[in-house]
């Protein structure tokens, strides 16, 4: 859909974000190693799962290890920034030979690739680097706001002076947002993955997207962290851990993105009832808007579209093949097809052509304290990441409600019929989640 000036919101948003990224690249005092690019990556660990399948948690667990390179959150926004968004059928499936500017994508990826624990930016150089990371993220999250690097520098300097908990990434970034509010009041902290953002509640007002532009990064927005930038040496020595919900549909792309890397895929599964329930909550939460599809359809999804005008325009999470046949179906059916679509694609495309090694991990074995340590040991060994010296604690990441076992049972009358549809049930059986065993699912 084009604006009155004949330029679509997608093109205006991408152009605005690109302008800001170019500004940061020119001005940043300590830009990423200019000689390093994705051709220097030697090891990739890709977490492939359905949305609400536990991939954010596992990605965070692996990213928190010292000898790991990663991007905060998903790299889906970088696909969109480089116009690798939707395929010919409007779904997230791209043709394996789709054309794109590899050099630009590589530079963008390297700009966000970091390692090590988050640490407060104490020195002037640290603050400039953190301000660059924040500016890039804000450009993906609020592209039409055009928040200048110099403006963010001022906000970072002020926040580091006044924030009492600057060693906590969420607290420091919340302080930065407060300082930016005077010049950019539309930058709304409630759209971020912050504890204070009100997770777990359907809004008591119409659901609304964060802005009127094209959604480059979908909410809840990632909180930037101050970490060490990747360089050519670290690319040779350490694995790059990535996760994007759309990668289940784009596994052949990974070799094109990182052509010299040994690719390990962790296929993370989760029982369909828990995943569908999480998707259902996410559609009705404040975020997870992925695409305005009103150029093709008006959504009439029972359980969602009655929540306001935006809920008749905005699709949430990924777009599986055949999504256009779901635009007038009940929400639980949409969610079931999203779960099955991602895993069916992964099952069909995981092969020696797309991955050098594959490990299938049930998320339930990570959640269960009795099997957690053993399962994570196998994950670390598979990924080539040194075993942590002490048991890993599980962070709460991108949650719509306080995690608890088998939360889906409160919605069993909706969820179970949805996953017993033909096609959904076959994928569940193939992954080991069989009918009649629902009592064991958590």
Residue pLDDT, tens place only, 400-423? 555 667 899 999 999 999 999 999
- Token pair listed for 396: 């709460």
Q: How far is CA 82 from the centre of its chain?
A: 16
**pLDDT tens digits along 68-92:** 999 999 999 999 999 999 999 999 9
Express each pLDDT in 33-72 by its tens digit. Answer: 668 999 999 999 999 999 999 999 999 999 999 889 999 9
Residues 337-392 have pLDDT tens digits of: 999 999 999 999 999 999 999 999 999 999 999 999 999 999 999 999 999 988 88
441 in Cβ contact with 433 (< 8 Å): yes
Give the C-alpha separation, 188 to 361, whole Å: 36
Predicted pLDDT of residue 62: 96
- Structurally, the chain folds into a number of domains equal to 1
Alpha carbons 154 and 147: distance in angstroms, whole number: 12
Q: Tell me the percentage of the chain whose pLDDT exceeds 70.
A: 93
Residue 300 lies in a domain: no
Domain that holds residue 150: 9-289+345-440
Pairing of strands 43-48, 262-269: parallel
What is the percent of the chain with per-residue pLDDT over 90, rounded to a whole number? 84
Q: For the chain, how big is the Rg over CA atoms in Å? A: 21
| Strand ranges inside 275-395, DSSP E | 289-292, 314-316, 357-362
- Provide the whole-model pTM: 0.93
Beta bridge partners, 228, equal: 115
Closest CA to 388 of 56, 66, 127: 66
How far is the C-alpha of 50 from the C-alpha of 204, rounded, in Å? 28
Question: Is residue 430 in a domain?
Answer: yes
Q: Which pair of structure tokens corresponds to residue 433?
A: 């989640």
Residue 311 lies in a domain: no
Q: Which of 243, 251, 246, 254 is nearest to 363 (CA)?
A: 243
In this prediction, residues 304-323 reach a mean pLDDT of 96
Note if the bond before 318 is cis, omega within 30 degrees. no
Is residue 309 pLDDT above 50, yes or no? yes
* Whether pLDDT at 305 is above 70: yes
Q: Is residue 321 part of a domain?
A: no
d(CA 24, CA 31): 9
What are the structure tokens assigned to 165, written together?
């908990």
Assign 29 a pLDDT band (cuts: 50, 70, 90). low
Neighbours of 412 (CB within 10 A): 13
Q: Is residue 315 part of a domain?
A: no
Q: How many CA atoms lie within 13 A of 216 on its CB side?
A: 27
Residue 117 has pLDDT above 90, yes or no: no
Q: Give me the residues paired with residue 243 across strands.
A: 47
Model confidence pLDDT, tens digit, residues 182-201: 999 999 999 998 876 444 44
Q: What does the pLDDT average to over 123-144?
A: 95
Whether 349 maps to a domain, the answer reads yes
More confident residue, 193 or 171: 171
Round to whole Å and give the CA distance between 109 and 6. 30
Q: Flag whether 420 is in a domain.
A: yes
Say whether pLDDT at 398 is over 70: no
Residue 180 gets which letter from DSSP?
H
Distance CA 375, CA 268 (A): 12
Asked if residue 14 is part of any domain, the answer here is yes
Residue 348 and residue 341 in contact, taking contact as beta carbons nearer than 8 Å? no
Residue 165 Cα to chain centre, angstroms: 26
All residues at 6 or more sequence positions from 48 whose CB lies less than 8 Å from its CB, including other chains: 55, 243, 247, 248, 251, 265, 266, 267, 268, 346, 350
């Amino acid at each position: 859909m084009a604006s009155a000036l004949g330029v679509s919101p997608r093109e205006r948003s991408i152009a605005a974000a690109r302008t800001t990224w170019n500004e940061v690249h020119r001005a940043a005092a300590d830009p990423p190693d200019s000689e390093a690019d994705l051709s220097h990556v030697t090891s990739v660990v890709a977490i492939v799962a359905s949305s609400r399948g536990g991939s954010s948690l596992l990605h965070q667990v692996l990213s928190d290890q010292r000898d790991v390179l990663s991007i905060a959150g998903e790299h889906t926004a970088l696909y969109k920034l480089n116009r690798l968004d939707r395929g010919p059928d409007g779904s997230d499936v791209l043709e394996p030979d789709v054309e794109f500017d590899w050099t630009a994508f590589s530079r963008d990826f390297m700009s966000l690739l970091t390692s090590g624990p988050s640490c407060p930016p104490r020195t002037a150089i640290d603050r400039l680097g953190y301000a660059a990371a924040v500016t890039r993220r804000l450009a993906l999250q609020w592209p039409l706001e055009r928040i200048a690097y110099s403006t963010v520098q001022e906000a970072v300097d002020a926040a580091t002076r006044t924030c009492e908990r600057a060693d906590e990434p969420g607290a420091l970034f919340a302080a930065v947002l407060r300082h930016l509010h005077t010049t950019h009041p539309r930058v709304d902290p409630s759209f971020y993955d912050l504890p204070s953002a009100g997770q777990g509640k359907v809004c008591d007002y119409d659901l609304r997207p964060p802005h009127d532009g094209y959604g480059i990064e979908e909410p809840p927005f990632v909180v930037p962290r101050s970490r060490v930038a990747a360089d050519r040496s670290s690319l040779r020595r350490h694995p790059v851990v990535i996760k994007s919900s759309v990668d289940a549909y784009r596994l052949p792309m990974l070799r094109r993105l990182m052509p010299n890397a040994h690719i390990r895929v962790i296929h993370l599964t989760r029982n369909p009832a828990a995943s569908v329930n999480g998707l259902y909550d996410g559609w009705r939460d404040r975020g997870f808007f992925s695409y305005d599809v009103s150029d093709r359809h008006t959504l009439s999804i029972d359980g969602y579209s009655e929540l306001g005008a935006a809920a008749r325009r905005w699709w949430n999470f990924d777009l599986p093949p055949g999504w256009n046949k779901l635009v007038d179906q009940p929400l639980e059916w949409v969610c079931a097809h999203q779960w099955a679509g991602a895993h069916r694609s992964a099952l069909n495309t995981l092969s020696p052509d797309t991955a050098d090694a594959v490990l299938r991990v049930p998320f339930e074995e990570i959640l269960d304290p009795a099997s957690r340590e053993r399962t994570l040991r196998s994950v670390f060994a598979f990924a080539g990441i040194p075993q942590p010296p002490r048991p890993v604690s599980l962070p709460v990441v991108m949650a719509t409600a306080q995690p608890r076992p088998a939360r889906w049972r409160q919605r069993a009358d909706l969820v179970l019929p949805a996953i017993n549809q033909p096609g959904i049930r076959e994928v569940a059986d193939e992954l080991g989640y069989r009918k009649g065993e629902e009592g064991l699912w958590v």
